[in-house]
Amino acid sequence: MPQEKSRFVVSPDWLQDHLNDPAIRVVDASWYLPAQKRDPKAEYAAGHIPGAVFYDQDLIADLNSGLPHTIPSVEAFADAVGKLGISDTNTIVVYDGPGIFSAPRVWWLLRTFGVKDVFVLDGGLDGWKAQGRPLSTDTPTPAPAVFHADFDATAVTSFEAMKGIVDDGSRQIADARGAGRFSGEEPEPRAGMRSGHMPGAKNLPSSIFSENGHLKPLDDLKTIIENAGIDLQKPVTTTCGSGVTAAIIMLSLQSLGHTDNTLYDGSWSEWGSRADTSVITGKD
């Protein structure tokens, strides 16, 4: 008997069957770290899921924050997404190359800005290609749509709020960076940042939530989170390097029905580059 999967992922079969549905919007949200040596725009131009628009996570952001892909203003987000032909009433399927890497960030953003029906493509574009499914090199020119944003500010943790959480332990902290960066044994990929983690944080490397680009079944997600020392009956704030892979933990938590969760948008790009923050090293 197949194990139960997240209600927030859709299969390649489902998406291919619905590609011509006028209510569906498909979004390529691919973004990569320099070490991955992949160019998302070039890959999109070389072949994407038919009808998919490219969501540039570096540009649909607050470019004045000094941090990478910070959440933009409500007005800027609504304008940018509307120009991609996306309405808040559409059913939106987001994908990336590997499957469960950068797509959950845009899934989380769309939900945070009020979209009800948004999903992540299980297996990503790499899996889609491996199965010989249709691709397009045409760049869509969608008619602009009206996106009515209903921003949930409670889903986002600010720097000041994060300092308070670290000081008083009022929320559990789940860090999605790899174990080496979390412990301080590996350097951060961005210059000028200390390695290590926030006091009290638990390490849940983002890669452990998926296998071959597919989000793991719910029972496995629950085991992963609990084995890391996170109590699913208590509030959680997620963090990572720059706010992208923290959304993988958000996807997993919400898939399990956990509702009291927030994402620290500045993440380690902010915390690790400041002189007034506490940083500890080691595995705990």
Give catalytic residues, as residue numbers.
240
Largest CA distance in the chain: 52
Helix crossing, 246-255 with 103-112: angle to 10°? 60
Count of residues making up the chain: 284
Element spanning 261, H or E: strand 261-264
Extract the tokens encoding 38: 């992949």
Tell me if 181 sits within 8 A of 207, measured CB to CB. Answer: no
DSSP-based three-state secondary structure for 46? helix
C-alpha separations of 55 from 68, 199, 223 in Å: 15, 34, 32
Q: How far, in Å, CA of 6 to CA of 220, rounded?
A: 11
For residue 205, give the nearest of 239, 253, 171 by alpha carbon. 239
Please give the structure tokens belonging to residue 34: 């320099």
Cβ–Cβ < 8 Å for 173, 164: no
Phi, psi (5° rounding) for residue 276? -105, 25
Q: Rounded distance, CA 119 to CA 111, Å? A: 10
CA 167/CA 227 separation, integer angstroms = 24
